[in-house]
Amino acid sequence: MNNSGLPALWPLMSPTMKGRAEQIAVSAQGVHVSFADGRTLLCGSSGLWNCNLGYGNVAIAEAVAATLRRASYLSVWGCEHELAHETARSLVVLTERAEFGRVLFSTSGGAANDMAMKLVRQYHSIAGREQRNVILGLQGGFHGLTYGAFALSTGQLGQRMYGVDRRLVAHLVPNSGDDLERVFGKIGDRVAAVFVEPVIGSGAIVLDDSYLRALFDMRRKHGFLLVADEVTTGFGRVGPGFFASHAWEEPPDAIIAAKGMTNGSQAASALIVSTAVAETYFQAGAILGHAETQAGSPASCAAVLATIAEMRRLDALVRGARLAEQLRRKLSTLVGQVPFVRAATGRGCLWALHLADLDGAPLDQARTDAVVSAIRDAGALVQSGPSCLQIVPALIYCEDDLDSLLGCVACGLRAFADRTPRVAVEST
């Protein structure tokens, strides 16, 4: 304890906590997390959507440990090393797209988004199109909290207070062809890139195929780059392959990977870039102004390679697809049957239960967080989103795990309803 009587730890994105035993995690194994008060809870969020294969995978841990003994640190900042080459090649193969050919390493999803924002603006500058410097994201999207990604993320997260520069960033209404036409009718000749999550993670909103076709048409017409932010959706989370964008009718120009890339074991991310974009840089002799000390470290590369191997050994894509169908079917049975649940949206193993009062008004953040606490009391860990519960199980869940998770969700919602007055619809 310090002089204030509080623990030294200041948790991220949270008011300072009291260090209570029921909140302090002490271990995690499989799909469960144990706490200092002796309770073990079922994890329904895959950590922070990153432990796709569950906790404590021995093969990944051993690969990292062996690499740390062989090469505790090597850099890719103006340098190169063997594991980084092997990992880059493996990531290109995972895209299942002939268009991709180069990989830049980073240490987080936010930092990789920053790097991608630099990449697309410089790409147009090299080609003499300096006026193409506006980057578009989607309303409801979250890309991280580093300064570039912070500008691209929506929601009231303090951007103005922190001096985040949004003068060259704007946002589209997801799945709205009319809004796409409106925005490009105004600034189409200034757009450098559009960044999209295949499933907008905050509320698990799936991008329609028709909307993606409209984006592809706009790309052909206006010449911007399309960046798929697969920080959350990648590595089998959404499927059908390692990346959700593999199912798109046309490839993006770059893919951002993180989270599940090391099964949560290392601070690592990657920007996978099309050969055509990379060649523009090489032919001009241009250097992308981005580097990080720990990017592409031997340990992180070993974790990526081991995660890929474990996903194949465990048949994680097939298991994830089977779980996704069970999840879709069972979540639908909660809608209208469990208090506050008005809709379920998502794809693969990335879903959200949207919460509303009897009058249809979305639950505010305080009540949504209280629901999460009630579900925790019932035995499971889930994350809150904007008026929703994010349901993100590990790909290795069995059906009994899923039934237990949804049972805890229903139990928590009913317990919260029993002690909370609900707004009734007035008769007219």
Q: What is the CATH number of the domain that holds 192?
A: 3.40.640.10
Q: Which pLDDT tens digit goes with each residue over 174-196?
A: 999 999 999 999 999 999 999 99
Instruction: Give, to the nearest 10 degrees, the angle between helix 399-418 and helix 316-332.
Output: 30
Domain C-terminal end among 298, 313, 328: 313
Q: In this structure, are residues 157 and 365 in contact, taking their beta carbons and an 8 Å threshold?
A: no
Q: What local confidence, expressed as pLDDT, does residue 420 receive?
A: 82
Q: How far apart are CA 11 and CA 272, in angstroms?
A: 31
Check whether 85 has a pLDDT greater than 70. Answer: yes
Q: What local confidence, expressed as pLDDT, does residue 427 receive?
A: 31
Q: Are residues 160 and 73 in the same domain?
A: yes
Q: What local confidence, expressed as pLDDT, does residue 2 receive?
A: 61
Q: What local confidence, expressed as pLDDT, does residue 4 receive?
A: 67
Domain count of the fold of the chain: 2
Check whether 425 has a pLDDT greater than 60. Answer: no
Q: Which pLDDT tens digit goes with each residue over 207-242?
A: 999 999 999 999 999 999 999 999 999 999 999 999
Q: Tell me whether the omega of the peptide bond preceding residue 252 falls within 30 degrees of 0, making it cis.
A: no
Q: Are residues 273 and 303 in the same domain?
A: yes
Containing domain of residue 363, as a range? Answer: 21-53+315-418
Q: What percent of the chain has pLDDT over 70?
A: 97
Check whether 356 has a pLDDT greater than 90. Answer: yes
Domain annotation covers residue 12: no
Q: Are residues 241 and 119 in the same domain?
A: yes
Q: How far apart are CA 142 and CA 300, in angstroms?
A: 24
Residues 164/166/167/169 CA torsion (nearest 10 deg): 150
Domain annotation covers residue 11: no
Of 150-159, 206-215, 312-321, least confident by mean pLDDT is 150-159
Q: Residue 423: which pLDDT band, with cuts at 50, 70 and 90? A: low
Domain C-terminal end among 258, 292, 313: 313
Q: Are residues 103 and 128 in the same domain?
A: yes
Q: Are residues 324 and 399 in the same domain?
A: yes
Domain annotation covers residue 321: yes
Q: How far apart are CA 95 and CA 223, in angstroms?
A: 22
Q: Are residues 40 and 97 in the same domain?
A: no
Q: What local confidence, expressed as pLDDT, does residue 190 receive?
A: 98
Q: What is the mean pLDDT of residues 150-175?
A: 94
Check whether 122 has a pLDDT greater than 90. Answer: yes
Q: Residue 324: which pLDDT band, with cuts at 50, 70 and 90? A: very high
Q: What is the mean pLDDT of residues 8-13?
A: 89
Q: Of 251, 192, 268, 200, nearest to 229 (Cα)?
A: 200
